[in-house]
Amino acid sequence: MTVSTAGRPAAFFDLDKTLIAVNSGKLWMNHEREEGRLPLSMVLRGMSYFLLYHFGLIDMNKAMSQALGTVKGISEERVDQITQEWFHSIVTPYEAPGARGTLNGHRKAGHPLVLLTSSSPYESRCAQKFFDMDARLHSHYEVQDGVFTGRFVAPLCYGEGKVHYATEYAREHGIDLGQSYFYTDSYTDLPVLELVGHPRIVAPDPRLRRLATRRGWPILDWSAETKEGEVLL
């Protein structure tokens, strides 16, 4: 029997400061510095990028190009292994307490759970498994002969790029974005928030909090556990 998916909603989730309560990029940078794989100059540059990101002023293409320059010529398999070890030992303790109840509520409602993040393919795969999600949409890095070239595959899964990946997923899986949900903390995700029918704001940055208040979007606190029945309101 063929089941129609017309009008079927999905639940999309950002990762940093949403499903997890911190910016994992900072955790990665600190970890790489402690392991001696990242010079202090890159750490300082990274901190400036995080500040620009917070205020929505970052040139993400430039920032990603410089970040990928640090792994140019390195084996993809090696970075994948390091990422898995880092994610499970350092990132998972920062799971947002309210995330599981919300995920479970959408799962019981039959909504596909989709990670929508600018993070790497390797971190996003870890997060998808950890949170038991159905799919992951993320940025892509160019690899040739098993090693990084130092370039990314456009578009990045950031800003309008997230609209590209969400729309592509919706088309391929029969998802109605007008009935779908998106959970995020960041003003940079405004293009997707305006795309879906049910924007959901989690521990937002100041700009997004002001906008969400004006537009009447729900602002959620995931610092404590959520009840499954509350998430679809």
The residues assigned a catalytic role are: 14, 16
The DSSP 8-state label assigned to residue 7 in this structure reads T
Alpha helices in the chain (DSSP H): 24-34, 40-54, 60-69, 76-86, 99-108, 121-130, 160-173, 190-193, 206-215
**Residue 180's closest CA among 167, 190, 189?**
167
How many Å from the N-terminal Cα to the C-terminal Cα in the chain? 31
**Residue 15's closest CA among 87, 89, 110, 111?**
87
DSSP-based three-state secondary structure for 159: coil
